[in-house]
């Protein structure tokens, strides 16, 4: 938060998803998802899309396995403009991390490239 109470989302330039000419910051989507008690962890990446250039894709570790995609979509609708909503939501048991605990988003991109669904 800055002195005026504004929250600034900062992300690596390479992680910005440009969809239909709009800049979408994965960290902003992750923050909205992780504020929900239904979500333990979330990671968002971009994937190529013929129409939009790129679209966001979310990988989510649920806190409660009974939570469904509709509930997650409601969380997103309450916290984000619709153009920022992930095109796909993948529920996973864990997010890939290296031995130091750093999230390995490149491994999520590999899953998308390989056509895996979580």
Structure confidence by residue, pLDDT tens digits, 47-70: 999 999 999 999 999 998 899 999
- All residue ranges of the chain with pLDDT < 50 are 11, 117-118
Residue 8 belongs to some domain of the structure: no
Residue 2 belongs to some domain of the structure: no
Residue 1 belongs to some domain of the structure: no
* CATH number of the CATH domain containing 23: 3.30.300.30
SS3 content of the chain, % helix, strand, coil (to 5): 30, 30, 40
The whole-number pLDDT of residue 46 equals 95
In order of 3, 38, 67, 75, 85, the CA distances from 97 in angstroms are 35, 21, 24, 25, 24
Number of domains in the chain: 1
In order of 3, 35, 36, 44, 65, the CA distances from 26 in angstroms are 24, 14, 16, 5, 23
Which residue segment(s) compose the domain that 48 sits in?
Answer: 13-114
What pTM was estimated for this model as a whole? 0.85
């Amino acid at each position: 938060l800055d002195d005026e109470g504004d929250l600034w989302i900062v992300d690596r330039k390479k992680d910005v998803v440009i969809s239909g000419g709009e800049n979408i910051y994965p960290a902003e989507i992750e923050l909205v998802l992780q504020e929900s008690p239904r979500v333990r962890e979330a990671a968002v990446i971009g994937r190529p899309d013929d129409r939009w250039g790129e679209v966001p894709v979310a990988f989510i570790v649920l806190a409660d396995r009974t939570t469904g995609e509709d509930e997650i979509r409601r969380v997103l609708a309450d916290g984000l403009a619709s153009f920022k909503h992930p095109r796909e939501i993948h529920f996973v048991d864990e997010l890939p991390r290296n031995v130091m605990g750093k999230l390995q988003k490149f491994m999520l991109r590999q899953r998308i490239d390989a056509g895996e669904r979580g």
